[in-house]
Structure 1
Amino acid sequence: MALLVVGCTPQPTTSTSSRTGAPPTTAFSPTDVAWIQLMIPMAERAQRLTDLAPSRTASPAVAALAAKAGARLHQDQKHLRELLKLSGVPDTRPHEGHNMPGMVSLTTIEEAGTVTGKAFDQLLTDALRAHLAQSTVLCAGEQAQGHSGKAKELAATIAKNTTAQISRLDDVRPAQPAVPDGTAVAKS
């Protein structure tokens, strides 16, 4: 998984005193920190896209979906930043400017600012679906390979929410264009 390769240098951990002999209450592994540091910019970019919806969408259903997704992304960022602070790792923004699978690209955000109506709806729903699908993959990786109970718990919550959002998104996503033989392209 990309999560295991990106930013996996030794990171500080938070634990109870070794003098008491108590087990660590919260310890963050490099995987936990890499997951947090990747999920923050992914959520930020997706939220930048959803923030454009009120003035650009043609669909009340897409506008409502974008508002709910944006609010969820805002909450996720808040919780991710709290975890990063708890980990003791500074917010160095190691993924600033990167384009990775599922991360809404700066080009997509720029393009979204120039289109309206159905073109915007298609761009938003395609990019948001890719973001949600990749977030699900990354959260599964954190749950399987992470160490911090708090990080794994947040990953489970985000994964549950993204699954629900994908279902709602697929219900409002614009129909895919037909291929030359007249059949519609299946939604991915």
Structure 2
Amino acid sequence: MRRLSVLLSLVSLVLVVGACGAEPAPAPTTTAPPPPTTTPTTPSAVGGLSPTDAAYVQLAIPQAESALPLLDAVRARAQDPALAELAARAGVGHRGELTDLHGVLTRAGLTYLGEHEAHDMPGMITRDEYQAADRLTGAEFDAEARVLLRKHFEESVAVARSELEAGTDAGLLALTRDLTESRADYLSKLSIP
């Protein structure tokens, strides 16, 4: 059900971004159309990003941001040193990804809309989930953190797959592949004792 929710949100964002970036039909002309370019473009592209690209960035940013409070808490408080080290690496990685994702929007001349902030969507660690985990200590805190981080990493990979399958921007696709690989690495190290 939550995956359906994220897909519906992604589709609605694609429609909104597509509508915002739609250009009026050109006036009829008697001259021949220009020759095709070697760079594929879509008529609904916005700032060089396809609607899928733009929708993915608008969702990936809050998804990564939602994990930062928990990653910071785990780094500081985890009883398991391996979990604390993983959280430290993931925190640095997420902050780098956020810089890059905002850079994609800037390059395209787009603004981050923040439409999904604080939503309870797959891959997002909600404020309530974070606060519930933060009240725990010791092994209980570590166990709940593992559950939340696993869900976050898995769902962010699922959302990234949509971009990898339908996105068109080469730079964003490379960033998304890196993000997917880092999440797979984090998952492989997220042991459950």
Normalising by structure 2, we get a TM-score of 0.78
Gap regions ≥5 residues in structure 1: 176-188
Rounded to whole Å, the distance in 2 between the matches of 1:57 and 1:4 is 34
What is residue 43 of structure 1 aligned with on the other side?
64
CA–CA distance in structure 1, aligned partners of residues 12 and 143 of structure 2:
31
Q: Which residue of 2 aligns with 1:61?
A: 82
Q: Which amino acid aligns with 1:165?
A: Y
**RMSD across aligned positions (CA):** 2.3
Quick one: structure 1 residues 43 and 31, their matched pair in 2 at CA, closer, same or farther if it must change by over 3 Å? same
Residues 70 and 145, structure 2, Cα contact 8 Å, conserved in 1: yes
Q: Which runs of 5+ in 2 are unaligned?
A: 23-33, 42-46
| Aligned-partner SS, 1:52 | helix
Helix, strand or coil at the partner of 1:92 = coil
In the TM superposition, 1:128-167 aligns within 5 A as 128-167=149-188
Q: 2:48 aligns with which of 27, 30, 43?
A: 27
Q: Which residue of 2 aligns with 1:106?
A: 127
Cα separation, partners in 2 of 1:6 and 1:125, compared to 1, 3 Å: farther
What amino acid is aligned across from residue 91 of structure 1 in structure 2? Y
2-side partners of 1:44 and 1:6: how far apart? 21
The structural deviation recorded for 1:22 is 7.4
Identity %, equivalent residues = 31
Query: Would you tell me which structure has more helix in proportion to its own residues?
Result: 2
Q: 1:53 to 1:151 in 2, by over 3 A?
A: same
Letter in 2 for 1:35: Y
Q: Distance in 2 between matches of 1:134 and 1:48?
A: 18
> Cα distance, 1:122 vs. partner?
1.1
CA deviations on 1:102-134 (whole Å, 9 max, x unpaired) are 211111111122112111111111111111111
Distance 2:76 2:57 in 1: 31
Contact 1:83 1:151 in 2 (8 A): yes
What is the TM-score with the length of structure 1 in the denominator? Answer: 0.80
Residue 48 of structure 1 and its aligned partner are, at CA, apart by 1.3
**Is the CA contact (8 Å cut-off) linking 1:46 and 1:104 kept in structure 2?**
yes
Matched, 1:5 2:8: no
